[in-house]
Structure formats: structure tokens, C-alpha cells
DNA sequence: TATTGTTATACTCTATAACTATA
DNA sequence: TATAGTTATAGAGTATAACAATA
């Protein structure tokens, strides 16, 4: 059972793990933010590229993935569309709905960014021996599986 | 040796680790963003609270920690000051400089947020057995040590 | 001259509220 | 009526450029 937020922080080694998760999160997000900035994108635009990599989504669904209001999406998608990264298409079955998808340029940029992220995180990866990498990946996967709130 | 960003993504299990790091980063940042929002704070304000937890910093140094321009800090700190979370004080040795520090309210809020983050990430932690937690924490620590660009 | 910090300006991100069109 | 999406509006976050005060 978790401590309630009223209590002081748990002093067992749980907090060391949480600290480590927080630090690795800032490190990873920092790398992503840097790469995004180099391509003149926000972190959110980067996420759009990642989310739409292998699917097309309606505005409302994309908003849900991102945890944003649909009105926010309108502007976001409009800017991305102006830059030629995404396209909009009317849904055949529901005339109210709009599907968003990556253009060829968007696909290319997405792949490039994934490669750059791998480069950026290379020091982290190479600090570990192959067996340790596998171990870390498996532990993270196990921990992540316990949670529902994540998008791919 | 890292792949250059021109190459396609490396297909070895390095990419599985990077994916896991990315997912855990979004999960952790998501938890932080949610908590921040509940307290009407941005993620950046949350970071300010964390960074100033155990030190007082000059505007320029705080900006460096955050990776922001000092002009950005002026507004950020002004808003936090209005809310009574931080204070400003003139540096005795350098009349140009301003030191920023947490008020008592800021300290309290920082502690509360840390506890809430622990709660929020409890499902992740409890998905692992104690030995696995230690293992994950150690692997993350080792990986993080390899990198310079992080603040506490 | 160089550095510290603020102010002015502009753009992006975000939410809320009001709206149109379709279901 | 309810849902999908856009537009209008407003506030926060961010950067660049110009500035004042101090080093």
C-alpha cells in the first residue's frame, strides 16, 4: 500500500528508485527536447510524430493519446500541416471526423529523430554491459506493464 | 560506436532499451505533470522547487540548471514569487546578482509533491520485487553516472 | 568591456467557452 | 441531444534583442 501524500516521503530504498526514475526521465526528456529543438519542433510535436508513426488517428483520439484538449490539437495539427509533416483527411464513415496521418516528410523526420535519439542516448547505453542492458530493459518493461497510462 | 543519425535505427536490442527508457520517461514525466497541474504548477516550476530544495542559486545559475534563458527566468521567478513559493535576495558580494531561494511555503510544497510522486509511481514500484527494485535502481544509477547533463 | 538581470516583443502551447456540422 | 472539430480568447512558457546597473 502506498503512503498517503500526507506522510513524509518513505525512507526505505523506494525513494532511491523513484529518484533514479526521475533523473532518467529528465535525462531522456532532455535528449528528446534537444533533438526536437534542433528540428524546430516542440516535445509535443515530437510525440505526434511518434504516435502517428504506425497509425492514423482522429483528432479526438490523438488528443486523448497526448492528454490534451481537442481545441489544442486544432492549432498543433494546423502548424504541423503547414510544415508538411502531417495531413488531414475526412473520415468516410463519419462526416464530422477528421483523420490525421504522417506525410512522407513526417515519416522521414520521425525515423531520423529516432536515430538521433539513439545517438543521443548512446553514452547511457554503452555505460552498461550487454547483459546489464537486457536486464535494465526487462525490468523497465516489467515495471511499465503494471501501468495503464502510456502510449506507444 | 554510435550509429550516425543518417543510418536507420539500430536493430539490435539497444533500441528495445531506448524504447523502454522513452516509455518510462513519458510515464514518469506524465506523473510529474499531473501532480504539477493539481497544484497549478508547470513542470518547470516543479523543477525549480526540486532544484532549490537544498540550495539557493543566482538567476543565471538557476537558468543554467534548467537550460533556459535568464530572461525566461525573470518571468518564471516573478510568478513563483507572487505565489509566495520563492524569494529573491540581493547578493552581498555582487550587487548585480540576485539569489533565489524557497520560502517556507515553497519547501512545504516541495516535500508534499515528492510524497505525491511516490504515491503516483507506487504501482510501478510494487510491480517489482525488492531485489528487482534494487537492481533497477542500481542499473539506472550506473547508466546515469555515465552522463554529465543532469541536475539534482 | 563584460556580466547580471529586467523589460519589450513575439510565437507556441495550453485550456475554456462558444460555435458549426453531423450523428 | 450528443459528438467531432474549429475558432476566439487569454495566460503561461519560451527566445531574441535592447537596456540599466555593476564589475
A22 in a domain, yes or no?
no
**pLDDT > 90 in chain B, percent:** 82
B130 in a domain, yes or no?
yes
pTM for the structure as a whole: 0.85
The beta-carbon neighbor of A5 closest among B18, B28, B115 is B115
If one counts the domains in chain B, the total is: 1
B80 in a domain, yes or no?
yes
Query: Residue at minimal CA–C1' distance from C8?
Result: B71
Give the domain extent around A43: 31-137
pLDDT tens for B46-81 read 999 999 999 999 999 999 999 999 999 999 999 999
B150 in a domain, yes or no?
no
Provide the CATH number for the domain around residue B129. Answer: 1.10.10.10
A16 in a domain, yes or no?
no
Query: Residue at minimal CA–C1' distance from D11?
Result: B79
Identify protein residues whose C-beta is within 7 angstroms of any atom in strand D: A 58-61, 70-71, 73-75, 77-78, 88, 91, 94, 96-99; B 41-42, 44-45, 66-69, 71-72, 75-76, 79, 94-96
Question: Own/partner pairs for A90-98, CB < 8 Å, 24+ apart?
Answer: A91/A58, A97/A58, A97/A59, A97/A60, A98/A58, A98/A59
* Residue A7 reports pLDDT greater than 90: no
B8 in a domain, yes or no?
no
Cβ pair B146, A123 in contact under 8 A: yes
pLDDT tens for A74-129 read 999 999 999 999 999 999 999 999 999 999 999 999 999 999 999 999 999 999 99
B66 in a domain, yes or no?
yes
B10 in a domain, yes or no?
no
Q: State the Cα–Cα distance between residues A118 and A116, nearest whole angstrom.
A: 5
Amino acid at each position: 500500500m502506498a503512503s498517503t501524500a500526507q506522510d513524509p516521503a518513505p525512507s526505505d530504498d523506494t525513494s532511491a528508485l523513484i529518484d533514479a526514475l526521475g533523473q532518467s526521465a529528465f535525462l531522456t526528456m532532455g535528449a528528446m527536447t534537444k533533438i526536437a529543438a534542433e528540428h524546430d519542433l516542440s516535445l509535443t510535436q515530437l510525440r505526434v510524430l511518434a504516435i502517428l508513426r504506425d497509425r492514423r488517428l482522429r483528432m479526438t483520439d490523438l488528443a486523448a493519446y497526448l492528454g490534451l484538449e481537442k481545441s489544442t490539437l486544432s492549432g498543433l495539427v494546423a502548424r504541423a500541416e503547414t510544415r508538411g509533416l502531417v495531413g488531414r483527411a475526412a473520415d468516410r464513415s463519419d462526416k464530422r471526423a477528421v483523420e490525421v496521418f504522417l506525410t512522407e516528410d513526417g515519416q522521414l523526420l520521425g525515423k531520423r529523430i529516432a536515430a538521433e535519439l539513439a545517438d543521443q542516448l548512446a553514452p547511457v547505453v554503452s555505460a552498461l554491459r550487454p547483459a546489464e542492458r537486457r536486464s535494465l530493459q526487462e525490468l523497465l518493461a516489467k515495471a511499465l506493464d503494471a501501468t495503464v497510462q502510456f502510449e506507444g
